[in-house]
Amino acid sequence: MKLAFSTLGVPGLPISDVLRLATTHGYHGVELRAHPEEPVHPGLGPDGRAEVAAEFKAAGVEVLGVAGYARVAAPGDDEAVLGEIRALVGLAHDLGAPYVRVFPGGADGQEPAEADALAARRLGTAAEYGADLGVRILLETHDSHRTGAAATRVLGLVGHRQVGALWDVMHTWLGGEQPQDSYAALSPYLGYVQVKDIVSAQDSTPVALGAGVLPLAECVEVLSRHGWDGWLCWEYEKRWYDHAEPLAGLLGAGREHLARLLNESA
């Protein structure tokens, strides 16, 4: 499996510094958080996009994905959501990234069947944009659809190969789903896996991999046992937790921890 980390862990850091961290600590790729406060986002012009793509190529590091914030099950106008996804897909294409991340984003009180149908309709339309540009749109296990079972209710309705799943191991676990069950649900759709660790079920402050409560060993063992050979991306949510330890000092030990889990499960 290939290893990546998300720029959510190093908010606002220039791309040159992100790439220095990746190459210094042996990561194969980077997931780029596509928010206006970051160096890379849908408002970045053609010259800026070309410069970023060239920096990654020169460093020998891959752009794993563009992590957007479109909420496909959110009530409201379809076109606003689709426009957001189109912009993310265009950015990913220009950077050479194979994936775009979107959220479910269903509202409190929304009927699950209504949320599923709304998300599926939008993702089915967006799949055509993705197909045209060679970018796969991944629905993350998150918020209103945090388990694999919930996410696949939507993905089964879409039925398009350009739409898949991003397995966030924290959300499936907090949703009460065991790694084997999450993998069984998501495996037909799986794009890549976000790994992380947290203090407890009641405190999602990010900590070093292996220092918290998430079942990372079980997740890696399940993936390995089933011969899955994709990406593991460390999403360290420093952006939301000012008191969390800086990611830069944890990256080396984190890569070693993941490598150890991979070796033990081989």
> What is the full per-residue pLDDT of the chain (266 aa) written as tens digits?
999 999 999 999 999 999 999 999 999 999 999 999 999 999 999 999 999 999 999 999 999 999 999 999 999 999 999 999 999 999 999 999 999 999 999 999 999 999 999 999 999 999 999 999 999 999 999 999 999 999 999 999 999 999 999 999 999 999 999 999 999 999 999 999 999 999 999 999 999 999 999 999 999 999 999 999 999 999 999 999 999 999 999 999 999 999 999 999 88
d(CA 259, CA 264): 9
| Residue 212 CB-half CA count within 13 A | 24
Could you tell me if 150 and 102 are in contact, meaning their C-beta atoms sit under 8 angstroms apart? no
d(CA 229, CA 214): 21
User: How high is the pLDDT of residue 266?
Assistant: 80
d(CA 121, CA 106): 14
The domains located in the chain, with CATH, are 2-265 (3.20.20.150)
User: How high is the pLDDT of residue 15?
Assistant: 98
d(CA 2, CA 190): 15
What CA–CA distances, in Å, run from 201 to 9, 73, 123, 141, 250?
A: 20, 26, 31, 16, 22
User: How high is the pLDDT of residue 200?
Assistant: 98
